[in-house]
Structure 1
Amino acid sequence: MDQVTGMATSGTGHSRLADFREITKVRLALSVVFSAIAGYFLGADSPEIGALALLSVGGFCMVGASNAYNQIIERHLDAKMHRTKNRPIPSGRMSVALALTIAIVMTLVGVFLLFLLNPKTAFFGALSIFLYVCVYTPLKTVTPLSVFVGAFPGAIPFMLGWVAATGEFGIEPGTLFMIQFFWQFPHFWALGWMLHEDYKRGGFKMLPTGKRDTGTAVQIIMYTLWMLVISIIPVFGITGSLVLSVPAAVLIFLMGLVMLWFALRLYERRDRKSARSLMLSSVTYISLIQIIYVLDKFIMQ
């Protein structure tokens, strides 16, 4: 181990790249960028390649920075959990100094690129980092309400795309925000149910009741219902220029019922397998409805 850098001197270029991908959670970052791009297409009258590039790279940098800051702060807790103990920092493959450098550089680059789109986009991007790193992350070991707080930065990407396209915040991006906001509760509580024992090792309080019990399962069902309702609200013509055709709304509603069925099955069985099914269905749901919203705009309207 190199005492200056804190990194393993035997590491290869490939392993360093792998560590970068892990410290920034590349797959998660790309899924967030996907949400932002969907929001951009919904808000843009005529999408521009340059703006999409700025949004994609800027958004990726903001999410990557948030994840790096998070892993710096939680490095000692990550070392206690099976699923995170081999992350770059707790495993000793990456120093805190290097991780912090990556986070700061990505923050500056991300804010700058989003500012080139418009100041509001840069503001919401910076706000998401602040809420995630300075509020959500410290609260995870204090209260289950951390999931509620974390849902705010987590709901920004879909909305961010609209703001990037229009430079304005109103009922349309607000609706996109609410869709992703309510979606996060069944998604993260299903994940928290699956990983409950591991989270306990790290001292994280992720489930609303602190247990895999009826109360948690009921709240998952309630938030799934709210998510379902919010997802089809644009069909009623009350969300400004964000509209949804009846066929698209019916399809989204049916998809929501599938996710609700998985939530009800978790309530009935209360096992990890049911929680995993719900978690996977939630990932499918949010991705597909964003695609449906975009296709509906350009095909049905």
Structure 2
Amino acid sequence: MGLSSGLFRPPRHIPAPRPPPPPNPPLMASAEASSSDAPPRAAAETADVRASGPARGGERVRAFYELTKPGIAGFVMMTAGVSYFVGAAGQAALLPVLHTLLGTVLATGGALALNQYLERDVDRLMFRTRRRPIPSGRVKPVEALLFGSVLIAVGTGYLFATLGWLPAALTLFSAAAYNLAYTPLKSRSYSATLVGAIPGAMPALIGWSAATGTVTLGGLVLFAIAFLWQLPHVLALAWLLREDYARAGFYLTPPADRDGAIIARQMVLYTVALLPVSLVPTLINLTGWIYFTGALVLGAVLLVWTIQAARSMERVALRKVFLGSLGYQPLLLGFMLIDTLPRG
């Protein structure tokens, strides 16, 4: 699952990450357990989190809103909506599109809230997550559990009532895969990265099935694009935050990958695979040549950035891959929107 090592210069001057914990590390119940060896800034942040306490009034509403991770939920909703449009060959009625967007974003927000309930203990250990609503004390764990479960139920029920059983079933599968497969696997195996990309790509199938009532080749192609796009994005982030993830016991980078060589090869491998797959919609007459040209340019730019990052594994280059891939997806979906072909 790697490219020839001759493509890369060995990364230099990269500090070795802290050794990962043994498999199935015990989860600590409080932030105090992780702050004994943390730098002063981290200890101060921990104290701030402990002191924040329950939210009130508008702050409480905002805390529940944060539980849904609106940025990610927005990406999911956008993917499902564009997939519906492509599945409908550009002839999408407004009301079914709105049904798709609303049901998908409700269920997605619920799945993301439920994920924070399941990871409430490890979120206290990581610098980037200890200010989330549960570890900061603004939302009680049981409230997050009920909130997430209700949103999933309402979202899938809404999709079932308005669009049929298939979009609802795919949405429920996505939420289950995210929380019952990907989430527990993160503390056990590096394969969690691949498993997590499956629910991340499900919005493409949800939107397609909402428009067509089935899953066909076109939907699978959109799923494959969404699946492959996530991998260089997630791998770049995983290496940038490897010490924070290791502190929580997450295996989002291979334990044996001390210098980033494995991550480097895989980032390039998945980006190389993404480029031709992203062109397939035009080859099967879903989109036209405007999309094809845009996808080719976007994929080539992302590949160049990924190769540059793989050769050095330096922070600046990796951030370029992370942020560049974040921009790649909406731009690609935009080309789909303006160049979806009608089907007779």
Provide structure 2 residue ranges, at least 5 long, that are not aligned to the other structure. Answer: 1-51
Indicate if the aligned counterparts of 2:125 and 2:248 stay in contact, CA closer than 8 A.
yes
Q: Residue 264 of structure 1 aligns with which residue?
A: 307
Q: Distance in 1 between matches of 2:205 and 2:334?
A: 15
Task: Decide which moves more: 138-147 or 247-256.
Answer: 247-256
Task: Decide which moves more: 59-68 or 219-228.
Answer: 59-68
Alignment partner for residue 139 of structure 1, among 182, 185, 188? 185
Within the alignment, does 1:103 sit opposite 2:148 as a pair? Answer: yes
- CA displacement at 1:225 relative to structure 2: 0.7
Question: So what's the TM-score if we normalise by structure 2?
Answer: 0.80
Within the alignment, does 1:220 sit opposite 2:267 as a pair? Answer: yes
Within the alignment, does 1:250 sit opposite 2:297 as a pair? Answer: no
Higher helix share: 1
Within the alignment, does 1:277 sit opposite 2:320 as a pair? Answer: yes
Letter matched to residue 227 of structure 2: F
1:186-225: CA deviations, max 9, x gaps?
Answer: 0100111121111111111112455451121011000001
- Percent identical among aligned pairs is 33
- CA displacement at 1:236 relative to structure 2: 2.4
1:79-130: CA deviations, max 9, x gaps?
Answer: 0000101111111111111101111110111111111211110010000011
Q: Distance in 2 between matches of 1:21 and 1:287?
A: 23
Task: Decide which moves more: 124-133 or 83-92.
Answer: 83-92
Letter matched to residue 17 of structure 1: V
Alignment of 1:143-222 (within 5 A): 143-208=189-254, 210-222=257-269
Q: Residue 330 of structure 2 aligns with which residue?
A: 287
Q: 1:112 to 1:81 in 2, by over 3 A?
A: same
- CA displacement at 1:11 relative to structure 2: 2.9
- CA displacement at 1:291 relative to structure 2: 1.1
Within the alignment, does 1:35 sit opposite 2:79 as a pair? Answer: yes
Within the alignment, does 1:64 sit opposite 2:109 as a pair? Answer: yes
- CA displacement at 1:21 relative to structure 2: 2.0
Q: 1:167 to 1:212 in 2, by over 3 A?
A: farther
Letter matched to residue 134 of structure 2: I
- CA displacement at 1:297 relative to structure 2: 1.3
Provide structure 1 residue ranges, at least 5 long, that are not aligned to the other structure. Answer: 1-7
Q: 1:246 to 1:52 in 2, by over 3 A?
A: closer
Indicate if the aligned counterparts of 2:113 and 2:147 stay in contact, CA closer than 8 A.
yes
- Match of 1:201, SS? helix
Indicate if the aligned counterparts of 1:193 and 1:212 stay in contact, CA closer than 8 A.
no
* Aligned residues between the structures: 290
1:241-283: CA deviations, max 9, x gaps?
Answer: x523233212211110110111111112211221111011111
Q: Distance in 1 between matches of 2:290 and 2:101?
A: 30
Q: Residue 14 of structure 1 aligns with which residue?
A: 58
Indicate if the aligned counterparts of 2:229 and 2:271 stay in contact, CA closer than 8 A.
yes
- Match of 1:59, SS? helix
Indicate if the aligned counterparts of 2:86 and 2:286 stay in contact, CA closer than 8 A.
no
Indicate if the aligned counterparts of 2:287 and 2:341 stay in contact, CA closer than 8 A.
no
Q: Distance in 1 between matches of 2:74 and 2:339?
A: 23
Larger Rg, first or second structure (1 or 2): 2
Letter matched to residue 329 of structure 2: I
- CA displacement at 1:49 relative to structure 2: 2.2
Question: So what's the TM-score if we normalise by structure 1?
Answer: 0.91
RMSD: 1.9
Q: 1:65 to 1:10 in 2, by over 3 A?
A: closer
Alignment of 1:122-137 (within 5 A): 122-137=168-183
Task: Decide which moves more: 267-276 or 31-40.
Answer: 267-276
- Match of 1:297, SS? coil
Q: Distance in 2 between matches of 1:78 and 1:106?
A: 22
Task: Decide which moves more: 131-140 or 58-67.
Answer: 58-67
Q: Distance in 2 between matches of 1:36 and 1:117?
A: 13
Q: Distance in 2 between matches of 1:268 and 1:164?
A: 42
Q: Runs of at least 4 residues of structure 1 off by over 6 A?
A: none
Q: 1:114 to 1:212 in 2, by over 3 A?
A: farther
Q: 1:280 to 1:16 in 2, by over 3 A?
A: same
Within the alignment, does 1:50 sit opposite 2:118 as a pair? Answer: no
- CA displacement at 1:10 relative to structure 2: 6.4
Task: Decide which moves more: 27-36 or 268-277.
Answer: 268-277
